[in-house]
Structure 1
Amino acid sequence: MNTSHRRWLPAGLSLTLVGWGANQFASLLAYYRQEHGFSELAVTSMLGVYVAGLIPALLVGGPASDALGRRGLTLGAIGLSVLASAAMAFGGSSAWPLFAGRLLAGVATGVALAAGTSWVKELSQRPWEEQPPAGAGARRAALATTAGFWLGPVVSGLVANWAPAPGVLPYVLHILLCLPLLWFASRLPETRRRTGAFPRGAFAALRTTPHARFRGVVAPAGPWVFGSGTIGFAVVPGLITDVGDFRLLYSTAAVALTLGCGVAVQPLARRIDTERSARALLVSLGTVLAGLLAAVLAVLAQNPWGGLAASSVLGAGYGLLMVSGLLETQRIAGPLELGALTGRYYTLAYLGFLAPTALAFAGLWFGPLVLLGAVIALCAASTAAVAAGSRRHLAGG
């Protein structure tokens, strides 16, 4: 059989462009508030609708891809992402197209992460690739996903600031990139034989996982994947008040640095990963702790540069956790449950998106330093749980 080390690339680009579509909305929040008068409650609700579509799609998309194949579901996710952008392009006159688009974007992202990540992993191994590097599938999938999460808000923010039709053109650009990808991805081989029905136990990961190592090592670290990232670009910039008239620029820089560092640091995760312990996860959580401590110092000093440094370290923790958690998950999962367990992992990871909302709500009663102290304590407890779980449950357990 002819093999190519590039077969995985269109599948990886599928993750990139779906992630792009999911996050492009983030840079346009200020635009919708200022230019169209949408309330803070409205735009926050749009973010919540995204999560409402994403979590069920993650949980169902994984087992569905195990039973029905990776390619069809991934192509469907790209199509849903196109429809989401098309709906949001009409959001200038009414909030309803934005709500519909955000819901569709959440479903598209959930399906893509569950099915597309498994597809990239399988295309990065024999027989589809000769002599694949160890752990290449997890590293490639994580890099493609985080690259999309970074490119989406950066490109849409640049287009919205310096191009005409800021409420339309970012979405049109995303659609134009997705359409040719649908053709390229459709030419890829299917790596999972379609059974026509869900195998017995396909939805077991929706209830619980029999893998002690997943419960004891991956699960405690999971919420800190996106928890660290969202704290880096959504919480820390808001706590640095001494930025004068550069609030929007400062927030944009925090987003770019947080997510950019998350992409740049990922090759390191593969190098420190080992099957003999949870070293990669522990180093990742240690990086998050360092970023949180740096955030405390920056807030105390009201140092804008210190805040950006803290966001960068938190972004590095996010990128390291993304790869190391996927590596652990893919080692644990059997061939009949790779999609299901991947969906479960991403579900845990996306719980971290609730961190800014939880901190904002708790901020009604507590000061920022108290809240950051509580977050540090929670992260330290998670780190201790991962360390203990790693000793009790060896890889493959």
Structure 2
Amino acid sequence: MATLTQLGAPARSTGTHPAAWLGVAAAIYAIAWGGNEFTPLLVMYKRDGLPVTTVDLLLFEYVLGIVPALLIGGPLSDRFGRRPLMLPAPLIAATGSTLLAFGASSVPMLSAGRVLCGVALGLAMAVGSSWLKELSQPPFTGDTASGTGARRSAMSLTGGFGIGAGVAGVLAQWAPWPDTLAYLINVTLCLLAALWLYRAPETVARQQHPGRLLDDLKVPAAAHRRFRTVALPLSLWLFTSSAAAYAIMPTLMMPKVHGAPIAFSALVTVITLGCGFAIQSVARRLDRPGTIRLPVLALTLVITGMLLAVAASATLTLWLTVLTAIALGMGFGIGLVAGLLEIERMARPDDLAGLTAVFYAVSYLGFGVPAVMAVCHDGTGVGYPAMFAVLAAACVLCLAVITRGRRG
């Protein structure tokens, strides 16, 4: 299958301009905002009486929407084009946020809202990221540096994650309608982004004689040795690290910040994702194709963060919690850029979206870690310091795999 770029279609024939990518970036940003605004409110739901395990499962439930949308949406967009798959995404996100806004007392409504936000985010990550990458290169824009599309995608996602969480936490702590207002703001943003997105041009030619859908869902590049030994071990820690920082630590610190627990949760979330966002431009400059410099740096920071989490959870120390968020946030940010750059280099144009989907699908399993840790703590009495130590050891093993696979 050939993309419009491959066919050499001139930019003027598409009616585009050099900033055509901005509409896609705005949609990714708004959808990411909606996907993560729930996170600082975990403390609010727990404070208001929902069991810890139930709330942590709600955090994970949007993975039930993300993973299918990632795995199916990416290959389908290679088959039918980016626009048909991505245009509904901000509307799906708006629907999910609406359910969350009016479902604070209903676990089924919260669950449905989380799954819909996950579906939208999965489409944004698999289809939107690929679309943004293609719009960041000729003929849709002027010549850009290698990796520009990956950087724009990573920054749109991380910026939406961080700002959405910060605004939601502040509003839930001090504004009226704490269960509702933040979600309604996201509904507005998603609807505006949907209008902007509609103007973005198609970059992939629809297949005239498509084969079996099952064949389209296969991603041969996933068998690439460097994907298996570098990108995949790295992906396991992206959202494991961020979830540990802003889904687990603020809950443990609630007795220390009883005056403003939601605001503190938002602060930790913003610190985590703010560090992840800020470090991404630095990571791009540190990157050297063919090396494992960025993956090693990312996992080293994750290991450091997990060890800090051991100390913070054992002593319930606020400044250690902040240091944990900084280290894990930087590990997340560098790891995200490193993984997307690896994929951009190894994928062919016809399986870029599919390989991106596999990478993100594995990474989002990390949001199940808080629920698993809550079950282990409640069911077996294992302490959080011990569980963070196990996570640090597991990350060391993944670092060893990456180091051995550097010549792939």
> Within 5 A, what are the aligned runs for 1:262-281?
262-281=276-295
Give 1:328's match in structure 2, choosing from 332, 342, 360. 342
| Contact 1:82 1:178 (C-alpha < 8 Å) held by counterparts | yes
- Mapped to 2, the partners of 1:21 and 1:4 lie a distance apart of 28
TM-score by length of 1: 0.91
> Within 5 A, what are the aligned runs for 1:56-135?
56-92=68-104, 94-135=106-147
2:38 corresponds to which residue?
25
2:308 corresponds to which residue?
294
- Mapped to 1, the partners of 2:205 and 2:267 lie a distance apart of 45
| Contact 1:236 1:307 (C-alpha < 8 Å) held by counterparts | yes
Kindly state the Cα deviation for residue 368 of structure 1 after the two structures are TM-superposed: 2.9
- Mapped to 1, the partners of 2:42 and 2:249 lie a distance apart of 18
Kindly state the Cα deviation for residue 181 of structure 1 after the two structures are TM-superposed: 1.7
- The amino acid across from 1:388 in the alignment is R
- Mapped to 2, the partners of 1:74 and 1:341 lie a distance apart of 17
2:3 corresponds to which residue?
none
Query: Residue by residue, what CA displacement relative to the aligned partner does 1:21-43 show, whole Å, maximum 9, x if unpaired?
Result: 111122333444555x5444543
> Within 5 A, what are the aligned runs for 1:308-323?
308-323=322-337
The answer to which of 279-288 and 160-169 deviates more is 160-169
Kindly state the Cα deviation for residue 355 of structure 1 after the two structures are TM-superposed: 1.9
| Contact 1:287 1:314 (C-alpha < 8 Å) held by counterparts | yes
The residue matched to 1:390 in structure 2 has which SS?
coil
The residue matched to 2:290 in structure 1 has which SS?
coil
- Mapped to 1, the partners of 2:390 and 2:44 lie a distance apart of 33
2:7 corresponds to which residue?
none
Query: Residue by residue, what CA displacement relative to the aligned partner does 1:196-218 show, whole Å, maximum 9, x if unpaired?
Result: 5655642113x982312111111
> Is residue 232 of structure 2 the alignment partner of residue 219 of structure 1?
yes
- When residues 367 and 277 of structure 1 are mapped into structure 2, their CA distance, relative to the original with a 3 A threshold, is same
Aligned length: 390
Kindly state the Cα deviation for residue 367 of structure 1 after the two structures are TM-superposed: 2.9
The residue matched to 2:87 in structure 1 has which SS?
helix
Give 1:370's match in structure 2, choosing from 359, 364, 386. 386
2:366 corresponds to which residue?
352
Kindly state the Cα deviation for residue 295 of structure 1 after the two structures are TM-superposed: 2.7
> Is residue 191 of structure 2 the alignment partner of residue 179 of structure 1?
yes
- Mapped to 2, the partners of 1:291 and 1:198 lie a distance apart of 47
Gaps of 5+ in 2: 1-10
> Is residue 217 of structure 2 the alignment partner of residue 203 of structure 1?
yes
> Is residue 27 of structure 2 the alignment partner of residue 14 of structure 1?
yes
- When residues 30 and 5 of structure 1 are mapped into structure 2, their CA distance, relative to the original with a 3 A threshold, is same
- Mapped to 2, the partners of 1:27 and 1:110 lie a distance apart of 21
| Contact 2:256 2:316 (C-alpha < 8 Å) held by counterparts | no
The residue matched to 1:209 in structure 2 has which SS?
helix
TM-score by length of 2: 0.89
Give 2:158's match in structure 1, choosing from 139, 146, 155. 146
| Contact 2:21 2:136 (C-alpha < 8 Å) held by counterparts | yes
The answer to which of 342-351 and 180-189 deviates more is 180-189
Query: Residue by residue, what CA displacement relative to the aligned partner does 1:25-81 show, whole Å, maximum 9, x if unpaired?
Result: 22333444555x544454334333312111111110110111111122111111101
- When residues 261 and 367 of structure 1 are mapped into structure 2, their CA distance, relative to the original with a 3 A threshold, is same
- Mapped to 2, the partners of 1:57 and 1:299 lie a distance apart of 35
| Contact 2:221 2:351 (C-alpha < 8 Å) held by counterparts | no
- Mapped to 2, the partners of 1:242 and 1:213 lie a distance apart of 45
- When residues 366 and 186 of structure 1 are mapped into structure 2, their CA distance, relative to the original with a 3 A threshold, is same
- The amino acid across from 1:27 in the alignment is P
Query: Residue by residue, what CA displacement relative to the aligned partner does 1:141-164 show, whole Å, maximum 9, x if unpaired?
Result: 000011111122211122222322
| Contact 2:39 2:247 (C-alpha < 8 Å) held by counterparts | no
- Mapped to 1, the partners of 2:59 and 2:186 lie a distance apart of 19
- When residues 138 and 199 of structure 1 are mapped into structure 2, their CA distance, relative to the original with a 3 A threshold, is farther
The answer to which of 151-160 and 340-349 deviates more is 151-160
1:228 corresponds to which residue?
241
| Contact 1:240 1:302 (C-alpha < 8 Å) held by counterparts | yes
- Mapped to 2, the partners of 1:239 and 1:164 lie a distance apart of 26
- Mapped to 2, the partners of 1:104 and 1:299 lie a distance apart of 33
- Mapped to 1, the partners of 2:246 and 2:289 lie a distance apart of 32
- When residues 100 and 196 of structure 1 are mapped into structure 2, their CA distance, relative to the original with a 3 A threshold, is farther
Gaps of 5+ in 1: none
The answer to which of 253-262 and 191-200 deviates more is 191-200
